[in-house]
Amino acid sequence: MADIVIINPRFDVSYWGLEHAMPFLGSKAILPVASLPLLAALTPPPHAVTLIDENVEAIDFERCARADIVGITGMNVQRARMHEILAELKRRACFTVVGGPWVTVKEDDIAGLADVIFIGEAEETWPRFLTEWGQGRHARRYEQAERTNMASVPPPRLDLLRMKDYGLGSVQFSRGCPFECEFCDIIVTFGRRPRIKTSAQVLAELDGLRATGKRTVFIVDDNLIGNKRAIKPILREVIAWQEAHGHPLMFATEASIDLADDPELMRLMVDAGVSELFVGIETPNEASLRETKKLQNLRARGGSMLDKVHRIQEAGMEVWCGMIVGFDNDGEDIFAAQRRFISESRIVNAMINMLVAIPRTPLYHRLEREGRLDNSDDPAGFGPFGTNVIPLRMGRQVLRDGYVELMRELYSPTAFFHRVDALYLEARLRWGRARQHYLRRHPLRRAKLNARLLAEAVAIFLMLMRGVPDPALRREYRRRLLRAVWRRPAPAILQLYAIKCALHFHFHTMVLAMQSTPRPVALGAAA
């Protein structure tokens, strides 16, 4: 029997991490990574597993030193911390194994630091390694020959995580994406053929999440609608589960913008409880979309990208988005174009990044051939200007300065809350429509939920008033919340506005850090 410890290193401050907002929302981290509880579920008895997420608890290196095997997973943005942890484990003579997105795309960065590495998915290779380890004949490198059959994936061991420390739960329905965006590593890691779990698997995992007390869950699929035909019956089963259990969960997820072309699919997602949707819009520059092969964003059927964003919002889902500056077809006018699109689209939360070339992606290979990669020794792997890409139509300092200024403008209190008000007070987004429809038929449950939401809104507001150091920001948050009380006093909307204030504080603090450092902090948590 092996005594196993598996570690997820802490993230640096990032857009998605919401670290500056977490104290106001009563959590230590936004959500657990899916790999830790899944690896625990894949570990056969009688092996014992301890999970450590450094984002919610410190690593006990003394405990690691007593283990037979110490595993580490991690993404690109965790690379520097992975190196630090591996160095400390080596100093303590630990037997180490490493897997996850970063080693999958940049094997040579880790290979010499660990005893064993895992490339790609590990549903087959992790149990095989444990068997071979027990027989004293394990390999130094494991890689599955075939993609995982998702019907064989066990439910994650959520009982081994400190779920109370996370703001959201997480669940995975599928892997893979049918598109071929040049910059994306998803097709490298998971392939272009979407693979999906069975309805029974999905509902069992929802039961497990409900048992932890989580009320909001992020469906971590990189494109939930990669196989539209297959996802629709799953969503129908989720709708029935929600009705049977009183709509206990709200969902956020990711999907491509062609969702707007399928009214039935939008209705099913809203009825299943999806209230927030992340969409990879990337750029309003059509030449850049063609360049990066984001052709699904160029399909004229159903109108422009702006029309499609509004259609998704009108269906009842708030759209979050990813945007990128620094494509080969981007000139200095891209920053104004991005700002204008985000304002007109009423997208409150826009994750902006400079273009980064992830190893093994088509973009990385192309720029490597063209001699336009900066491979300087930078701890975060992005180079001194915040990206390893040498842009074509503007200087690197111009790109960096334009990017930081764009972030400053988008997340000024005036611009940010203008978008919040435009979406929720003027367009009056029907947030949580399916749950509200259910609660109208159950008035006692509705009263209890409204009381809880109102109490949460007040609690977040009071913590903001005590914890935000800038008096001008505190005044702005008071003004915006009072405006919401006057214009749309529904408890769910007031709670949402309080959360938006906390999120704004996070983005505002990040932008201040960007302005004071020569290299922007990494925003996304990509591989």
User: Band of the pLDDT at 520, cuts 50, 70, 90?
Assistant: low
Are 399 and 413 a contacting pair, CB within 8 Å?
Answer: no
Assess whether pLDDT exceeds 50 at residue 526: no
3-state secondary structure of 302: coil
User: Band of the pLDDT at 525, cuts 50, 70, 90?
Assistant: very low
Q: Which of 439, 293, 444, 408 is nearest to 362 (CA)?
A: 293
Residue-wise pLDDT for 323-372, tens only, equals: 999 999 999 999 999 999 999 999 999 999 999 999 999 999 999 999 99
Q: Let me know if 141 is exposed, middle or buried by CB neighbors in 10 A (0-12, 13-18, 19+).
A: exposed
Residue-wise pLDDT for 438-458, tens only, equals: 999 999 999 999 999 999 999
pLDDT value at residue 187:
82
User: Band of the pLDDT at 77, cuts 50, 70, 90?
Assistant: confident
Q: What percent of the chain has a predicted confidence (pLDDT) above 90?
A: 89
Rounded to an integer, what distance in angstroms lies between the CA atom of residue 114 and that of residue 82? 11
pLDDT value at residue 375:
80
Residue-wise pLDDT for 139-164, tens only, equals: 999 999 899 999 999 999 999 999 99
Q: What percent of the chain has a predicted confidence (pLDDT) above 70?
A: 97
Residue-wise pLDDT for 253-271, tens only, equals: 999 999 999 999 999 999 9
Q: Which of 519, 192, 188 is nearest to 364 (CA)?
A: 188
- What is the DSSP code string of 306-356? HHHHHHHHHHT-EEEEEEEE--TT--TTHHHHHHHHHHHHT-S-EEEEE--
Residue-wise pLDDT for 369-405, tens only, equals: 999 999 876 545 566 788 999 999 999 999 999 999 9
User: Band of the pLDDT at 111, cuts 50, 70, 90?
Assistant: confident
User: Band of the pLDDT at 280, cuts 50, 70, 90?
Assistant: very high
DSSP designation for 139: -
Place of tokens 């769910």: 492
Arithmetic mean of pLDDT, 286-291: 96
Beta bridge partners of 318: 276
Arithmetic mean of pLDDT, 496-512: 97
Mean predicted lDDT score pLDDT of the chain: 94
pLDDT value at residue 261:
95
Arithmetic mean of pLDDT, 171-184: 93
pLDDT value at residue 91:
96
Rounded to an integer, what distance in angstroms lies between the CA atom of residue 496 and that of residue 503? 10
Are 208 and 171 a contacting pair, CB within 8 Å?
Answer: no
User: Band of the pLDDT at 87, cuts 50, 70, 90?
Assistant: very high
pLDDT value at residue 527:
42
Burial pattern 88-115, b for ≥16 Cβ within 10 A else e, equals: ebeeeebbbbbbbbbbbbbbebbeebbe
Q: Which amino acid is at 121?
A: E
How far CA 56 is from CA of 169, 220, 250, in Å, comes to 14, 19, 23
3-state secondary structure of 183: coil
Beta bridge partners of 143: 119
3-state secondary structure of 122: coil
Phi, psi of 170 (to 5 degrees): -140, 150
Residue-wise pLDDT for 425-434, tens only, equals: 999 999 999 9
Would strands 3-8 and 48-53 be described as parallel, antiparallel, or unpaired? Answer: parallel
Rounded to an integer, what distance in angstroms lies between the CA atom of residue 373 and that of residue 371? 6
- Give the chain's count of helices (H) and strands (E): 21, 14
359: preceding bond cis by omega (within 30 degrees) = no
Domain boundaries, the chain: 3-143, 358-390, 438-515
Considering only 19-33, 209-223, 504-518, which range has the smallest mean pLDDT?
A: 504-518
pLDDT value at residue 518:
63
Structure tokens at 325: 């500056």
pLDDT value at residue 474:
98
CATH: 3.40.50.280, 1.25.40.10, 3.40.640.10, 1.10.150.530. Which one for 3-143?
3.40.50.280
pLDDT value at residue 382:
66
Q: Let me know if 291 is exposed, middle or buried by CB neighbors in 10 A (0-12, 13-18, 19+).
A: middle
Strand order across the beta sheet in which 350-354 lies: 169-171, 216-219, 250-254, 274-282, 318-325, 350-354
Considering only 16-20, 42-46, 380-384, 387-391, which range has the smallest mean pLDDT?
A: 380-384
Are 177 and 184 a contacting pair, CB within 8 Å?
Answer: yes
Rounded to an integer, what distance in angstroms lies between the CA atom of residue 400 and that of residue 354? 8
Are 226 and 175 a contacting pair, CB within 8 Å?
Answer: no
